[in-house]
Structure formats: structure tokens, C-alpha cells
Structure 1
């Protein structure tokens, strides 16, 4: 066998092994979600009968507690505010850390990163007290501010590295054309770091959408509970009776936005993660 054929055979074998491994991991990853989706529409409680398919589980889920739409709307509102706030602060903060010099710059950046070393549950009680002083207890806005604080270390790190990976000639050329630093950031640099912004926004959404501890402690009104709290309450059941069908339906509804967003933004996510992690 010639050298070219041996190399081609090795390449084919390597590709086959890679795709086989990826397929196995994909099946292992998706099987719980597929089973939850199947269980949510199949069974006696799903069809209100002896078996078969139906949407009764989703109907019971829709009318659970204060209404599933209320919990879903609260989660959407909190996630939207968290993503927007994280992107704004990380964009301007990352640009400032990457491009400007000011007293205490490195110390301030290290202090922001130090938040990563503090377990979030340990500071939620002091935060709850602080929110009470400023009149933001049991508030979706107050909860969003707390979640933004939790996301800032990673977001600032990503955006600072993304800006440092850009040549300074870009903004210098814009300033020669009459742009200010703010104008250069908004009109030119922001487009260049868009993959990093998408990565930061995706992480902020996933974290806020699935957060359980912070809403449980900081929210006291049932009408302001988020989707994870509602699902845990549904799992606990009443008098020990757990509605597994409705719970499976809730899991599907909660998982779908995360899955869809990740698939849609996967290409930008990979590019942003690389640009935000490797400095040029």
C-alpha cells in the first residue's frame, strides 16, 4: 500500500472514531431531555385515560400555582435584565480596563475577579439585608442586579481580553476621522468584539435562567417566583403526591430556550470564547 493510501486510511479511521465518539456523547447528553419530552406527552395522566399521547400534563402545568405563565414571565424578565445589564457594564468596563490607565486599575480588576472565589450562597443573606435598606427586597429588579454582580467577573475578563486582542490602530484611525473614544467604541470596536459579547450574553442568560438559590432567598412573594422555584415546588408535591407528568412538561419548557439559544449562537460562542481567552 502506498504512503498516500495509508495516510488516507488513517485519516478516515481517525474521522470515523471522532464522529463515533461525538455521536455517543450526543446521545448520552440528549437522552434525558428526549425521555422527558416523551414522558410529558405519554401516559395515563398525559392523555387523561389509560394510556397513549396527550397534552394534559402541559394543561395542568399551565394552571399550577399562580399560573405557569407568571413564573415563565418572571424568569424571562429577570434573564433579560441580567443579560442587558451584564453586557452594558462588561462592554464599557472591559474597554476601560483594556485601553485606559487610571490609579488602582489592576487592583480594581483583581477585586472584581475575586468575586469568583466567594461562594455566592454565603453572601446572599447580607445582600438580602442590603436590598432591604434600599427598598428592593422581593423585587425582580433587585434580583437582577445581584445576578449581574455574580456575572461581572467572567464578563469583565472576557471583554477586557477581547479588546486587548484588537489592534489600537482601529480606534486611532477612527479618532483621526473625528470620533471620540465613545464613538470609536460604539461604531467600530463593538462590532469587532461582537462574538465575545454574544458569549457573555449567553453565559448570563443561562446563569440567570437556571438560578435557584438567589431567587429562593431574595424573593418572598409567590407571584414573583421564577421557573426553577416553581418546578421545585411542583416536584415537592402536596401531601407527598408528586405530579411527575407535569414536572416532566416543566423540565421540557425550561430546557428548550437554553438548547435553542445555544444551537443558534454556537458558532459565535466558539469564536467569542477563543477571542476572549487568547490575547493577541
Structure 2
């Protein structure tokens, strides 16, 4: 009976491995095609049947994409916006999370529920009122609408992750520090933050991925090409290419946009997983 059950279990595992393997190939195939096309010659890009291995291997697509499009400027703009987003998110969200996790207040849970409920509001429904507000402030066609909100803890998910992590620290640490004359801000800076480097890094990773891949925000608020981010610049590159069948430069630009996130995921995969696990801690 045990042998029969063991055989059924093996067959079931093989079945699921086949399903997972097939789905993995389907998901990875577009990425492999992008990488392959980025290193092909122009005639190879239109070959039929298509080939995955470039012969010969060439960097002409990268040379062309930098010559026909200001990719370095797009990359610089993206880095500036991403860096400011990470800085603003870490400062504001950690302070708000500290308040929700350590201060005793009758209405605290109500406000925290309201904060989390904002995650269920579709961002597209806020575009018109936000655009009207930023127009009156004179912020349109600047990076301010893409940066300033992060300094006001608008990322409810980051607040949630940090709050859950701060809740894991015993309150006795705060009480001992307070008895030694430490202020509330001192407890935050000297006790919680030094022991929260990992979760702060997790929040920074999620913030980087969100800001780096953001397309809709820069498209709405930026009008000058000199201020475009890489995500918007790729669309402009596609428009400048017209109906050409040579997709090499476009794939080269797309690869440049994907590589930072891809490297982050490969090197920091355990931190992404830890971020998900941290968000499930009991509060």
C-alpha cells in the first residue's frame, strides 16, 4: 500500500513539474527573444523562420540606439527620480510606521485601516484631480509630481511592511530608552533604525522597481523630451522607428531598461521574498 501511494506521489510530482516547466518556458521565452534580437544584425531580425542564436554576434543595435535616441539622458532622468523616490519613501514611511507601531492611541487602528484602504483605490481614478492640483501649483512638466508625494508617506504598502516589522520589537526597549532620557525620535533613530536595515533595504527594492518601471506618471506630467524617463523614452524610440522591421535597436533599448531590475532580482531575491514574509507578520 505504501509503495502504491509512493508511486502516485511520484507521478503527481512529475505532472506538476511538467506544468511548471512548461509555464516557465512560456514566461521566459519573450525575454530570451528580446536578448537574442538585441545582438542580431538587421537581416537576421527579419529572418524567417526566426533563429534564437545570433550569427554573427554583434553590438550594432546598441550603437544605433544611442545614436538615434538620447538614451543616456533618459537613464540619468530615471536614476534621479528613482533615487529621490527611495529617499522620500524611506524617510516618510518609516516615521509613519513608527507612529503606528509604537504610540498608544484610541483611534490608531482606525487611521491605519483608512491608510490601508487607500491601496484599494485605483490610481487612475485620481489622475484628473491630481493633474488639476499640480497644474495650479505649476508642477506640470517638472519631476515634482513624481517625487514630492513620496515625502508624505503615500506608499501605504511600504508603511504596512515597516509597521509590521517594527511591531516585532518588544516595547521594553522603548521603555528602557525612555527611562534613560531618550526622546521618541531618539528611540526611532538609535534603536529601531539600526536594527531595521534589512526591511529598509526591502522597501528600497520595491520602491526602485516601481519607480524605474513607472510609465504612466512621467507620460502624464512630463512634456519635454529632455525630462523623459527611460520608460517613456522607449515609446518615443518606437515611434521614431516607424514601421521598420528591424527591431534590433528597440530590443537593445528594452534590454537596457530591464537589466537593472533583472540584476536586482537575481542578487536580492531573498530580500524580495523576505518582504512578502514580513508583510505577513502578526501585528
TM-score range, shorter chain: 0.7 to 0.9
Q: Is the 8 A contact 1:195 1:272 kept in 2?
A: no
In structure 2, relative to structure 1, the CA distance for the partners of 1:8 and 1:198 (3 Å cut) is: farther
**Distance in 1 between residues matched to 2:261 and 2:44, nearest whole Å:** 24
1:56 aligned to 27, 44, 60, which one?
60
Provide, for residues 62-81 of structure 1, a one-character-per-residue CA deviation record: whole Å limited to 9, x for no partner: 1334x101111111111111
**Distance in 2 between residues matched to 1:191 and 1:10, nearest whole Å:** 51
Q: Name which of structure 1's ranges 146-155 and 251-260 shifts more when overlaid on structure 2.
A: 146-155
Q: Is the 8 A contact 2:41 2:60 kept in 1?
A: no
SS at structure 1 position matched to 2:182: coil
Q: Name which of structure 1's ranges 98-107 and 206-215 shifts more when overlaid on structure 2.
A: 98-107
**Distance in 2 between residues matched to 1:276 and 1:191, nearest whole Å:** 20
Matched, 1:74 2:81: no
**Distance in 2 between residues matched to 1:77 and 1:231, nearest whole Å:** 18
Provide, for residues 230-262 of structure 1, a one-character-per-residue CA deviation record: whole Å limited to 9, x for no partner: 112222345533651111111111111111112
Q: Name which of structure 1's ranges 87-96 and 28-37 shifts more when overlaid on structure 2.
A: 28-37
**Distance in 1 between residues matched to 2:105 and 2:136, nearest whole Å:** 32
In structure 2, relative to structure 1, the CA distance for the partners of 1:17 and 1:186 (3 Å cut) is: farther
Q: In the alignment, which residue of structure 1 is the partner of 2:197? A: 194
Q: What TM-score results when the alignment is normalised by the length of structure 1?
A: 0.83
Q: In the alignment, which residue of structure 2 is the partner of 1:30? A: 28
**Distance in 2 between residues matched to 1:172 and 1:181, nearest whole Å:** 10
In structure 2, relative to structure 1, the CA distance for the partners of 1:44 and 1:179 (3 Å cut) is: same
**Structure 2 regions of 5+ residues with no counterpart?**
46-54
Q: Is the 8 A contact 1:113 1:153 kept in 2?
A: yes
Q: Is the 8 A contact 1:161 1:278 kept in 2?
A: yes
Figure out how many residues of one structure are paired with residues of the other and give that number: 275
Shift of 1:46: 8.2
In structure 2, relative to structure 1, the CA distance for the partners of 1:232 and 1:25 (3 Å cut) is: same
Q: In the alignment, which residue of structure 2 is the partner of 1:41? A: 39
**Structure 1 regions of 5+ residues with no counterpart?**
none
SS at structure 1 position matched to 2:279: helix
Shift of 1:55: 1.2
Matched, 1:245 2:248: yes
Shift of 1:270: 2.1
**Distance in 2 between residues matched to 1:175 and 1:41, nearest whole Å:** 61
Q: What TM-score results when the alignment is normalised by the length of structure 2?
A: 0.82
Q: Is the 8 A contact 1:61 1:250 kept in 2?
A: yes
**Distance in 1 between residues matched to 2:151 and 2:115, nearest whole Å:** 12
Q: Is the 8 A contact 1:78 1:144 kept in 2?
A: yes
SS at structure 1 position matched to 2:282: coil
**Distance in 2 between residues matched to 1:210 and 1:97, nearest whole Å:** 30
**Distance in 2 between residues matched to 1:64 and 1:134, nearest whole Å:** 35
**Distance in 2 between residues matched to 1:179 and 1:242, nearest whole Å:** 66
**Distance in 2 between residues matched to 1:167 and 1:13, nearest whole Å:** 48
RMSD: 3.2
Q: Is the 8 A contact 1:162 1:196 kept in 2?
A: yes
Shift of 1:105: 3.1
